[in-house]
């Protein structure tokens, strides 16, 4: 069974539901509509017994540049009070945090912001050797999201997580492999095929056993993840209204370096 929209392609076959980011001309940056579509796919996949696992993939040149800044600012207007928790992105974050079945990702090229933080909720991640991960929230006057302020220090340790989240500088595929963010690094042209092959292996296994194994591995952490996401969401929404964020986004639109000397 297949479904398609302009920016998100969804294909289900052999127990594997594949979500392909299909906005390469915009570096697969996510819009509010895309978040809503992905949240709907995940919600349906969680209840559909024929779906054994879900795989996120992009293009061989780019996974995702994160949020589409223009769309993000338009959707966060006064009508919603800038409240992140009232937006489709929030439904998506909750969907990946609570998805009971295996989640996989094939990552090539840039994976920026949520393009990296969504991987923290995946069970298997495969990367092209051109993958570049970045978490530039502070550089935009914002704070981490998707419970990355909780999950990243657990994975990387405090100092490496602080370097990634506070400096926001990119780190490459081999560094991601070293700290356990990805399972394997391969040439970009092989990445999606490898992830598909691994997904098919999972799809051939007993679903009940996969679900229970994932639940046990989470170790009761889901509640803590959702609580941290809610805390981050409140802080993110507040920071969106600060002079630092306004300067960062204005500088982005004007294609100049932001000046935080008075923020």
Q: In the prediction, which pLDDT does 82 show?
A: 58
Rounded Cα–Cα distance for residues 254 and 175 (Å): 32
Does the pLDDT value for residue 58 go beyond 80? yes
Rounded Cα–Cα distance for residues 205 and 71 (Å): 40
214-246: pLDDT as tens digits: 999 998 899 999 999 999 999 999 998 999 999
Strand order in the sheet with 110-112: 110-112, 132-134, 171-172
Structure tokens at 81: 């009070």
For residues 79 and 56, which has the higher predicted lDDT (pLDDT)? Answer: 56
Q: State the burial class of residue 190 (Cβ atoms within 10 Å of its Cβ: 0-12, 13-18, 19+).
A: middle
Structure tokens at 62: 């780019």
The pTM is what?
0.94
Does the pLDDT value for residue 136 go beyond 50? yes
Rounded to an integer, the average pLDDT of 164-186 is 97
Q: In the prediction, which pLDDT does 158 show?
A: 97
Rounded Cα–Cα distance for residues 192 and 190 (Å): 6
Rounded Cα–Cα distance for residues 196 and 206 (Å): 18
Q: State the burial class of residue 1 (Cβ atoms within 10 Å of its Cβ: 0-12, 13-18, 19+).
A: exposed
Domain 2-186+206-215 in CATH 3.90.226.10? The answer is: yes
Q: In the prediction, which pLDDT does 5 show?
A: 63
- Residue spans of the domains in the chain: they are 2-186+206-215
Query: Residue 28: pLDDT band by 50, 70, 90 thresholds?
Result: very high
Mean pLDDT check: name the lowest of 79-88, 117-126, 184-193, 214-223.
Answer: 79-88
Q: In the prediction, which pLDDT does 263 show?
A: 81
Rounded to an integer, the average pLDDT of 129-153 is 97
Does the pLDDT value for residue 4 go beyond 70? no
Q: In the prediction, which pLDDT does 86 show?
A: 79
Specify the 3-state DSSP secondary structure of 263.
coil
Rounded to an integer, the average pLDDT of 170-181 is 97
């Amino acid at each position: 069974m297949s479904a398609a929209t302009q920016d998100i392609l969804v294909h289900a076959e052999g127990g594997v539901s594949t979500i392909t980011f299909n906005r390469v001309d915009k570096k697969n940056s996510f819009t509010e509509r895309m978040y809503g579509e992905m949240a709907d796919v995940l919600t349906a996949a969680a209840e559909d017994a024929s779906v054994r696992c879900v795989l996120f993939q992009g293009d061989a040149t780019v996974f995702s540049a994160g949020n589409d800044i223009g769309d993000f600012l338009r959707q966060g207007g006064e009508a919603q009070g800038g409240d992140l928790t009232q937006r489709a992105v929030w439904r998506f974050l909750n969907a990946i945090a609570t998805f009971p079945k295996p989640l996989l990702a094939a990552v090539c090229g840039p994976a920026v912001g949520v393009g990296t933080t969504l991987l923290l909720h995946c069970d298997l991640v495969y990367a092209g050797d051109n993958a570049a991960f970045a978490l530039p929230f502070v550089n935009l006057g914002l704070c981490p999201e998707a419970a990355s302020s909780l999950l990243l220090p657990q994975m990387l340790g405090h100092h490496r997580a602080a370097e990634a989240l506070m400096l926001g500088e990119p780190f490459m595929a081999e560094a991601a492999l070293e700290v356990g963010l990805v399972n394997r690094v391969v040439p970009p042209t092989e990445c999606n095929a490898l992830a598909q092959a691994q997904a098919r292996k999972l799809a051939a296994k007993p679903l009940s056993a996969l679900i229970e194994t994932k639940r046990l591995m989470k170790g009761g952490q889901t509640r803590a993840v959702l609580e941290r996401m809610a805390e981050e969401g409140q802080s993110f929404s507040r920071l969106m209204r600060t002079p630092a964020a306004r300067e960062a986004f204005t500088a982005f639109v004007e294609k100049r370096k932001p000046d935080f000397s008075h923020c």
